[in-house]
Structure 1
């Protein structure tokens, strides 16, 4: 008894594992879940259509029997009128019995026909309902899978944006900026060092002295020319 209980518990445990495994697969692949659901609905629709066809066929068979019995009853009524008109009582008695049997059969067939019509309408309604559910499920599948793909695309883009780092590019530019600034600073420093060099300062001083001497000579020449001009005017 305990082994039977153990096997039952193991079976339930296994079914639970399988159910969770299938559930995880369907979450990761929703198209599989929708296809399985649609396939199940289509199988149900196929079976229901076969059952509906059988009900419709039974209704057609009842209708054919009803038509045949009604035709036979019409003939019996005509024969009965003829037998009564010709006073053939023995034939009339047989026809009356046949008429009663046909009346009972037709009454029963009418009940069967009414039931068959109801069954057929109910089956067709159920068939249309299942087909409508299949169409709705297909439309939902297309809509939901489209939304899923759109959401996945957005997540992928967001993931790329989140993982996109400009630190390396910024650092590279910072290094270039630093290099340019250092180069400019080195150039300024070289110029300042050049200008502060003694030889440079001496050459600069000599250049300035030469300018002063030339300016003095120019002033002297101007003074001499002015003196000569004044002497000539006095003469």
Structure 2
């Protein structure tokens, strides 16, 4: 008993592993899961179609028997009327017995035919329902696989974009910016050093002094000319 329990547990464990493995494969390849589901439903549809065919055949067989017995009943009824009309009581008794048997059989056949018709209609409805589900599942398969492929493409593109780093470009531009700033600072420093050089300052001072001297000479010349002009006026 203990060994049987262990084997049963091992069997359940192995079945669980297989189920998980199959489930993982179906997740990785959903088209397989969809195709298996569709194939299973098609198999059920085929079986249901065969069963429906058998039910319809039974309905047709019952209907045919019912029609045959109804025709036979009509014939016996006519024969019975003729036997009664001709006074053939012994024949009439036999015909009445046949008529009663046919009446009972026809009553049963009518009930069977009604039930067979209901069964056939239900089977056809079930058959159409399964076919509709198969068509819906096929459409869902196409739609879901298209969504999956689109999502996979988006994930791939996002991964590629995430892998594109602009750090190197940013660092390169940073170095260029620093170099340009250094050049500008160097140029400014050269100008500042030039302006602070003693020779340059002395030259500027001399230039400024020369300008002041020239302006003083110009002013003296103007005053001399003005004085000369005034003297000329007085002599007149």
Q: Shorter-chain TM-score: which interval?
A: 0.7 to 0.9
| 2:87 alignment partner, SS class | coil
Distance 1:88 1:151 in 2: 91
2:105 maps to which residue? 105
Distance 2:158 2:216 in 1: 82
The offset of 1:166, in angstroms, is 4.8
| 1:1-235 matches, cutoff 5 A | 11-135=11-135, 137-138=137-138, 141=141, 166-235=166-235
Distance 2:176 2:56 in 1: 87
| 1:230 alignment partner, SS class | helix
User: Any unmatched runs of 5+ in structure 2?
Assistant: none
* Aligned positions, number: 235
User: Any unmatched runs of 5+ in structure 1?
Assistant: none
Query: Normalising by structure 2, what TM-score?
Result: 0.80
The offset of 1:211, in angstroms, is 1.3
Q: Deviations over 1:124-166 (max 9, x none)?
A: 3433443454455456556655665666567667666766655
The offset of 1:64, in angstroms, is 1.0
The offset of 1:75, in angstroms, is 0.8
The offset of 1:222, in angstroms, is 1.2
Distance 2:25 2:229 in 1: 120
Distance 1:214 1:43 in 2: 120
The offset of 1:65, in angstroms, is 1.0
Q: Deviations over 1:34-53 (max 9, x none)?
A: 33223322321221122112
CA RMSD of aligned residues (A): 3.3
Distance 1:110 1:166 in 2: 86
Query: Normalising by structure 1, what TM-score?
Result: 0.80
| 2:32 alignment partner, SS class | helix
Distance 1:50 1:233 in 2: 150
Distance 2:131 2:92 in 1: 56
